[in-house]
Chain A
Amino acid sequence: MLTRFEQFAVNEMMGKPDTPPRANGTLCFANDWERTAFGVALTLARNGYFEWDDFRDELITQIGTWEAEHPIDRSSWNYYERWLAALEKAVVKSGLLDPAELSAALSASPAEPHAA
């Protein structure tokens, strides 16, 4: 069946551990960076820079790791933080970006905050 990649990619996630937040039939982005992170990952996979399944495996791993580190208090959960972590791994693992190149680009970003 002829299906758009965008549709295929998101439909694959429905009902799976990496299912994205949504309401009333649409994806939910709490703010713009979540939307951008989603769009960048989808664009890269659509254009063949990495396999969608490989990205999803990374995302599921990221979600699992976070859950293992937060067994009780999950009030700080944010789906797209895990998405972004998976995306940063995927661009390096696929050879698209050099790890040093990525670190350099991210070096101007603020340090990761930790709960008090």
Chain B
Amino acid sequence: MADQFKYREDREAYSAARVRALEALLIKKGIITDRSVDTVLDYFETKMGPFNGAKIVARAWVDHAFKERLVADTPAAIAELALPEGMAGAEGEHMRAVANAPGVHNLIICTLCSCYPWPVLGLPPYWYKDPTFRSRAAREPRAVLKEFGLAVPESTEVKVWDSSAQIRWFVVPERPEGTEGLSEAELEALVTPEAMMGVAGAA
């Protein structure tokens, strides 16, 4: 066991040293700068990702009028928030929000292509592109949701939204019970990408 651990540590040190050396050489030659890596990663870490979706959902939970505007005209409502530039442009302009409510549960899928509301949800999980998931979710969403651990009562209607190049859907989950005292920032932490895809609730 100890040897295994040592081996792992040695490999980490080996890779870390090589990356450092390669980066240093590229910087020395003026090919990249010492800011290049952070600049590229900034896009994934602060600009476009599930943290944007969480902000939108948390606002919808605390502001009912915003939620109505969000469902009626998603890009216009998103533009009201101080989110990174590009949210409402490019891919963002095609986004449409659907809100869960008592008696209605929404699920987003994409049967044909790789459409995903990236600026709001970040990178799709492995199973999202799995052909079996895509076809089964369209055919028997209730059974698929149950396998995700989400038992939707028979009395609740399940609506399935198939994203396309034109429209990319995301779900506004219901606000969890007992969260009345939480701040908007605390509410954001309860919103997961899975909840905004409709395969989980917010909790």
The residues of A with any CB-CB pair to B shorter than 8 Å are 1-4, 6-7, 10-11, 14-15, 19, 22, 24-27, 31-33, 35-40, 42-44, 46-47, 49, 76, 78, 80-81, 84, 87-88, 91, 96-97, 101-102, 105-106, 108-113, 115-116
Contacts and interface: CB of A to CB of B under 8 A. Distances in A.
B159 interface: no
A44 B32 contact: yes
**Is the interface on chain B under 10, 10 to 19, 20 to 34, or 35 or more residues?**
35 or more
Interface stretch (B6-14, B55-63, B172-180): B6-14
Interface string B38-51: 11110111001110
Nearest to B32: A43
A2 B37 contact: no
Contacts of B19: 33, 36-37, 40, 84
Interface of B: 3, 7-8, 10-26, 29, 31-32, 36-41, 43-45, 48-50, 86, 89-91, 114, 116, 118, 121-126, 128-130, 165, 192-193
Contacts of B41: 35, 38-39
A113 B14 contact: yes
B193 A4 contact: no
B121 A109 contact: no
Q: Is the interface of B mostly helix, strand, loop or mixed?
A: helix
A113 B22 contact: no
Contact of A6 (B12, B14, B17, B44): B44
A78 B11 contact: yes
Nearest to B16: A33
B50 A91 contact: no
Nearest to B121: A25
A7 B48 CA distance: 9
A31 to B, nearest CB: 7
A9 to B, nearest CB: 9
B12 A31 contact: yes
